[in-house]
Amino acid sequence: MTYFEDIVVGERTPVGRHRFTADEIKAFAARFDPQPFHLDETAAARSHFGALVASGWHTVAVWMRLTVAQRRRLAEAARARGESVAGIGPALGVREMKWLKPVYAGDEIAYENEVVETRFSRSRPHLGLVTIRSIGVNQRGETVISFLSTTFVERRATGE
């Protein structure tokens, strides 16, 4: 992750793609969201969804994993260039999270993060706050999830 001062509003970054298999949809649901339409094809066929769908919490948890992996790749690339790497996190929270379309078994979701706001932290002067809008888009071009999240990002040391 780049330092707070290097982050530009409007910047969009693809964070990765993930294909949701029936097995992992059911495994996540059994652990955290055991509703029939996330657990069982037959019950899901009778539901308003008509087929097995991933828990909304599963679709956002996969975004988190891909985002952490992407940050790590960026940090490693920066270190390889001999640059220092800004600390990131924790997240303050999430706003306007919308599950816009179901994610069916077999769907492949491409996630993207867009910087929508940057501001200094009043309580922690060595940190800035970055708000990103994240979306997930399926193989039919439909946006299935959208949300805003705000995270602390380290500022460059003053005088640098």
Instruction: List contacts with a copy of itself (CB under 8 A).
Output: 31-35, 37, 48-49, 55-57, 60-62, 64-65, 68-69, 89-99, 102, 147
Q: How far is the CB of 144 from a copy of itself (least distance, A)?
A: 12
Smaller CB separation from a copy of itself, 34 or 106: 34
Smaller CB separation from a copy of itself, 16 or 56: 56
Smaller CB separation from a copy of itself, 57 or 156: 57
Residue 86 and residue 83: Cα distance in Å, rounded?
Answer: 10
Smaller CB separation from a copy of itself, 57 or 115: 57
Q: How is residue 101 written in tokens? A: 């379309």
Q: Alpha-carbon dihedral of residues 18, 44, 97, 153, nearest 10 degrees?
A: -30
* Cα–Cα separations (whole angstroms), residue 108 to 1, 94, 105, 141: 26, 23, 9, 10
Q: How far is the CB of 123 from a copy of itself (least distance, A)?
A: 12
Sole residue written with tokens 């932290």: 121
